[in-house]
Amino acid sequence: MYIVMVASECAPIIKAGGLGDVVYGLSRELEIRGNTVEIILPKYDCMRYDQIWGLQCVYPDLWVPWFGGAIHCSVWFGFAHGRKCYFIDPHSADQFFNRGTYYGCNDDQMRFAFFSKAAMEFMLKDNKRPDIIHCHDWQTGLIPVMLAEIYKHLGMQNQRVCFTIHNFKHQGIYSGQLLEATGLRRPEHFFRHEQMGDNFNPHLLNIMKGGIIYSNFVTTVSPQHAWEARFTDQSYGLGHTLHISQHKFDGVLNGVDYDIWNPEIDRYIPARYGMGNLDDKYRNKEALRDRFWLRKDYKPIIAYVGRLDDQKGVHLIRHGIFYALHNNAQFILLGTSPEASINADFWNLKRHLNDSPDCHLELSFNEEVSHLIYAGADMFLMPSNFEPCGLSQVISLKYGTVPIVRNVGGLVNTVFDKDHHHSKPLHERNGFVFQHSDYAAVEGAMYRGIRLFYDYPAHFRELMYNGMRYDFSWNYPAQRYLGIYDYIRAK
Ligand code: GLC
């Protein structure tokens, strides 16, 4: 099969979050299974050029219709750790992708509408006729709309679209300018409620909604989140749209790339280990303590790695730090926040805890250090408010680091409570799960983890093994996606 992925990120060259890992990991696995996969991306000024091999201009003159005129673009090609990537490089005063950042500009909706238009135009002009176009998040939500409304009539009638939603919080809501710019026009048509009209503001268009309505199949990144998106407020107003699209909507759990995240072969950790030599994990614990000047006592280390924001339950993370310190545990945190006020808060906290021999807050992001933390910590805290899939808990399991998570989204599909998950046999339970988003709930689960560590070390060790035995590789999800692709091709 011939698949073109269109996305705003692809790890490790362009990565703001889990989306980048998914685009890379899924593409790789599909290729291993004998499919042809190409990835179309924006050519950002700030991407990791040092990680791209053989970058060259392959299509110097692509004219992309935009408003009344056209914008001159070049298309580049290069290998990103083996993946075939095309990069769209517009030459206009807008400098759409020369902003020193991937997201966060006032005109993001226009930037990515342009990217989507250019991706379609490139496929058309370069005679690319993939069986499947796989789009990701709102940034590419206009692709199925333009395919059906414009490009189908220009010779692209056989292409099918799968649209994967990684985060419902960002939907790309914008004015009718989008229609003029992309050549969709016909506001009277597109503003309708059955169309792209936003479910709550009739004067605005909702790109993600358009993506859902027009795609042949829509997925989100875990079965539990697919349910939450339809039946709770977690799809931020798109529940009805998903409800009427239920026949083509499902949850497919993301995989993780075990070539990168595997303690047996990890090049960033001092001591490699697996189920056969689990004790070597503790050499990493020593190294982690050396690195962050933590005291070497017989105590568990609880860790958090990731973005610090409301989605991740930042107030509960903060609380978890103090709870750990008051209950004979150590805490290590690695992360930053996109919000200045949260960053400032954590910098204050860091100063406040500066002299603690049991705590270290590393307020930056460093992939290499994150490997050492996964390997060296005993437990991993993830009190998310919502979590479409989540990667950190799955990595933790592989590293024998017991996750303590809230039961939401993908966490429900990957972490099974040691004491309460009665439908699973004991040897399949792999962590601690709590229900509510409040202090008492986090404390309860952390208490159970810390007590098990001290009072029943053999049981704690069992829990570590149970997690390490799980296989959350891309193997199964890739099969699921191939099944979906086959299904929509046959329709
Ligand atoms: C988003 C979600 C996260 C998911 C990731 C990859 O970042 O917040 O839960 O794991 O996308 O799909």
Is residue 491 scored above 90 in pLDDT? no
**DSSP label at residue 366:** -
Tell me which DSSP letter residue 81 carries: T
Q: Specify whether 361 is located in the same domain as 214.
A: no
Looking at the structure, do residues 239 and 289 belong to the same domain, yes or no? no
Binning the chain into helix, strand and coil, the percentages to the nearest 5 are 40, 20, 40
Distance (Å, rounded) from C-alpha 136 to C-alpha 163? Answer: 6
Q: φ, ψ for residue 490 (rounded to 5)?
A: -75, -15
> Would you state the pLDDT for residue 265?
98
| pLDDT given for residue 334 in this prediction | 97
What tens digit of pLDDT does each residue of 17-68 get?
A: 899 999 999 999 999 999 999 999 999 999 999 999 999 999 999 999 999 9
Average pLDDT over residues 454-471: 98
Q: How many domains does the chain have?
A: 2
Residue numbers of the domain that contains 365: 275-469
Q: Is the CB of 430 under 6 A from ligand 1?
A: no
Q: Is the beta carbon of 221 within 6 A of some atom in ligand 1?
A: yes
**Whether residues 485 and 464 fall in one domain:** no
Which tens digit of pLDDT belongs to each residue from 174-201?
999 999 999 999 999 999 999 999 999 9
204 and 318, same domain (yes or no):
no
Q: Is 299 near ligand 1, meaning CB less than 6 Å away?
A: no
Residues 119 and 35 in one domain: yes
Q: Return the best residue to mutate from 21, 166, 414 for the ligand 1 pocket (most ligand atoms within 8 A of CB).
A: 166
Same-domain pairing of 303 and 417: yes
- The rounded Å distance from CA 229 to ligand 1 centre is 14
- Atom 5, ligand 1: residue with shortest CA distance: 18
For residues 83-109, average pLDDT? 97
- Say if CB 466 and CB 459 are below 8 A apart: no
Are 172 and 314 within one domain?
no
Q: Print the SS3 string covering 152-170.
A: HHHCCCCCEEEEEECCCCC
Q: Do 360 and 440 share a domain, yes or no? A: yes
| pLDDT score of 365 | 85
Residue 174 is inside which H or E element, if any?
Answer: strand 173-174
Do residues 294 and 251 share a domain?
A: no
| CA of residue 389 to ligand 1 center, whole Å | 5
Q: Is 384 in the pocket of ligand 1 (CB under 6 A)?
A: no
Q: Do 210 and 288 belong to one domain?
A: no
Residue 275 CA to its chain's centroid (Å) = 28
298 CA distance to ligand 1 centroid (A)? 35
By mean pLDDT, which of 147-151, 203-207, 229-233, 337-341 is the weakest?
337-341
186 torsion bin: left (phi>0), alpha (psi -120 to 50), beta (else): left
What is the Å distance from ligand 1's center to 387 Cα? 7
Mean pLDDT of all residues belonging to the chain: 97
User: Do 241 and 282 reside in the same domain of the chain?
Assistant: no
Pocket test for ligand 1, best of 138, 391, 392, 411 (most atoms within 8 A of CB): 391
pLDDT digits (tens, 9 = 90+) for 125-134: 999 999 999 9
- The verdict on residue 167 lying in a domain is yes
Do 299 and 328 fall within a single domain? yes
